[in-house]
A and B are shown apart, each in its own frame.
Chain A
Amino acid sequence: NAGVTQTPKFQVLKTGQSMTLQCAQDMNHNSMYWYRQDPGMGLRLIYYSASEGTTDKGEVPNGYNVSRLNKREFSLRLESAAPSQTSVYFCASSFSGTGDSPLHFGNGTRLTVT
């Protein structure tokens, strides 16, 4: 039972380069999320998708775009990477997105932008 799978695990980019972070879940969850985690800042929500076909901005959406490809997959794109986007990125999913359905996380993508 894989849960939430993220690829790649590590990535180094130069300023201005683009990349897409991939996330897939096999738990039949409806809601999916992208967070970034930085020292001293905790987890901050970038974008979320309440259900297939919908996406919404979170707390820190600038510089990112997302695509909910189907019910299982939710990708995060950095169009022009900046050093401020150096972080650990976590994908999460929830059955309903409400408090009675906790989040389940992947193991993260560690991104460095030089």
Chain B
Amino acid sequence: QKEVEQDPGPLSVPEGAIVSLNCTYSNSAFQYFMWYRQYSRKGPELLMYTYSSGNKEDGRFTAQVDKSSKYISLFIRDSQPSDSATYLCAMNGNNFNKFYFGSGTKLNVKP
């Protein structure tokens, strides 16, 4: 079993929709949770970073962590065609140099 599971998609939504992207994990020691956005032919770009459980909001983006269910989510409100990208989740248990990545969900926002 992989440490981090992420549905690869693709996920196709109309412009303006609310998007929900999710990852599940198996290691209860994970404390730090990250979301990266990767445009085609570019490197992953850090989008959101949270510690432990709870919500964090940044503009149209909300990251949510439920440690009891080992489940994290990224919500995108009022989605735009420019949000079309692959979204990667990542996590760390504060172990030195041990970052675990999901395989990424490809999102397509249609105009």
Contact = CB atoms under 8 A, between A and B. Distances in A.
Q: How large is the interface on B (under 10, 10 to 19, 20 to 34, 35 or more residues)?
A: 20 to 34
Given A41-B103, A99-B99, 20 more contacts: A31-B97, A33-B97, A42-B88, A42-B103, A43-B88, A43-B101, A90-B44, A94-B97, A97-B96, A97-B97, A98-B95, A100-B51, A102-B32, A102-B34, A102-B46, A102-B49, A103-B44, A107-B41, A108-B43, A110-B41
A98 B101 contact: no
A106 interface: yes
Interface in A38-69: 40-43, 45, 48, 50, 56
B43 A105 contact: yes
Interface in A71-114: 90, 94, 97-100, 102-108, 110
Interface of B: 8, 31-32, 34, 36, 41-46, 49, 51, 88, 90-97, 99, 101-104
Contacts, number: 64
Contacts of B90: 102-103
Contact of B93 (A31, A43, A99): A99
Interface residues of A, number: 25
Contacts of B94: 98-100
Interface of A: 4, 31, 33, 40-43, 45, 48, 50, 56, 90, 94, 97-100, 102-108, 110
Closest 3 CB pairs of A and B: A99-B92, A99-B32, A105-B43
Given A99-B31, A102-B49, A48 B43 contact: no
Given A42-B102, A42-B103, A103-B99, A98 B92 contact: yes
A107 B104 contact: no
Contacts of A90: 43-44
Given A90-B43, A103-B90, A107-B43, A40 B96 contact: no
A56 B98 CA distance: 12
